Amino acid sequence: MTIPLSLTVNGQAVRADVEPRTLLVDFIRDHLRLTGTHIGCDTAQCGACTVHVDGQAVKSCNMLAVQAADRAVTTIEGIAAADGTLHPMQAAFRDHHGLQCGYCTPGMVMSALDLVASDPAPSRERIREALDGNLCRCTGYQNIVVAVEAGARAMSGER
């Protein structure tokens, strides 16, 4: 049995028939072939699958695709400019070495954007709190925190 699903992903209307048990992360990766959203733990512990649903960060391995019906989903692929120019937060992660292997980076960036939307100039303590649900096995997090600070400044127009 399948259920018809309509939603918007990265600004584009999407329609598909999905099994009721399909997770949003599987729909994004398998049906839409947007593989920037990663699957890390399948238990909403690592944050690698973080996307925005109606502007708020959610762990897509913990949400059914049908729960996103008639909603707007933004993945890491949807935040760069149409010409491929990186979003300021993505550029900050690159420029400040906020990644190593890169597996956690899409989820970190999406969580950071959620934070900056509500707190345009977060303290380092606030950044660490906001990223608490995102795990990285490669770095010591310091460069990630620095990258989020720089990304927030760039988003507000500061240098």
Amino acid at 13: A
Q: Looking at the predicted structure, is the pLDDT value of residue 2 above 60?
A: yes
DSSP string, 62-116: GSBGGGGTTSEEE-GGGTS-TTSPPPHHHHHHHHTT--SS-SSHHHHHHHHHHHH
All domains of the chain, ordered by start, with CATH? 3-78 (3.10.20.30), 88-155 (1.10.150.120)
Say what the pLDDT of residue 159 is: 56
Average pLDDT over the chain reads: 95
3-state helix, strand, coil in the chain (%, to 5): 40, 15, 45
Report pTM: 0.94
* For residues 101-123, average pLDDT: 96
Residue 55, SS3?
Answer: coil
* For residues 120-124, average pLDDT: 97
Q: Looking at the predicted structure, is the pLDDT value of residue 151 above 90?
A: yes
Sign, Cα dihedral of 143, 147, 148, 152 = positive
pLDDT digits (tens, 9 = 90+) for 74-100: 999 999 999 999 999 999 999 999 998
Say what the pLDDT of residue 44 is: 85
Q: What are the residues whose beta carbons fall under 8 Å from the beta carbon of 109, sequence distance 6 or more?
A: 76, 79, 87, 89, 90, 93
Say what the pLDDT of residue 126 is: 97
Amino acid at 55: G
pLDDT digits (tens, 9 = 90+) for 60-74: 999 999 999 999 999
Amino acid at 132: D
Q: Looking at the predicted structure, is the pLDDT value of residue 9 above 90?
A: yes
pLDDT band at 140 (very low <50, low <70, confident <90, very high): confident
Q: Looking at the predicted structure, is the pLDDT value of residue 158 above 90?
A: no
* For residues 112-131, average pLDDT: 97
